[in-house]
Amino acid sequence: MDKYLNMPVNKYLDDLAAKLPAPGGGSASALAGAAGAALFCMVANFTAGNEKYGDVQEEIIGILKKLETIKKRLAELVDEDVLLYSEVSKAYKFAKNTEEEKKARSEAIQEAVKNALQVPIEILINCAKAMSAAERLLEIGNKNLASDIGVGVRLLEAGFYGGVINVDINLALIKDERFVEKRRNEVNELKIKIDGISEKIMGKMVF
């Protein structure tokens, strides 16, 4: 499959709107997160090399490098979600005429769903990482772009909570209770982290 990242944006949006199994909500969540991280990168780029912010150049360049890595990974997840969803679809199409076939199909579905869970989990992790840079970016970044930080925060929230929905959908299908509990605890910790930072940032926004 050709990667959406190599195609025009309109092609992705048309496929997202079309009667197609993928791309769907998981892929769109990754895109929202990537857009949020990209806005943070823009703020950092307008700060780097700016004489007004000469005393924070080393720190801002470090933040920019981290954000670029996160942005790249979230963008890759736009396509990876599509690929993993197709594997889940294949598992559901396995034959189920005999007890042996039913067992094999069930095992294939469980494995495919666990694998598919990797993408939304990574979306959550990377959105949270990007959000961690927001508070400091608001403090030391170019003041003319404070509103872009606010928009980036909201996009990261959208990407994060879109990812949460997809995590919940997949966990509901998994029979391994220990696996499910571990993942739910991870998600809850990330929720606390991202909500706390978001509240602080938006509370400091002045328009």
> 10 Å Cβ neighbour count for 164?
21
Q: What is the pLDDT of residues 65-111, one digit of tens each?
A: 999 999 999 999 999 988 887 777 788 888 888 888 888 888 888 88
Non-local (6+) Cβ contacts of 46 within 8 A are 141, 142, 144, 145
Please give the average per-residue pLDDT across 185-203, as a whole number.
Answer: 94
Is the bond into 8 cis (omega within 30 degrees of 0)? no
Better-scored residue on pLDDT, 122 or 103 = 122
Q: What is the pLDDT of residues 128-185, one digit of tens each?
A: 999 999 989 999 999 999 999 999 999 999 999 999 999 999 999 999 999 999 999 9
DSSP state of 21: S
- Model-level pTM? 0.91
Query: Exposed, middle or buried: residue 132 (CB in 10 Å: 0-12, 13-18, 19+)?
Result: middle
Domain at 21-204, CATH from 3.40.50.720, 3.30.1360.30, 1.20.120.680, 3.30.1360.70: 1.20.120.680
Rounded Cα distance, 197 and 207, in Å: 19
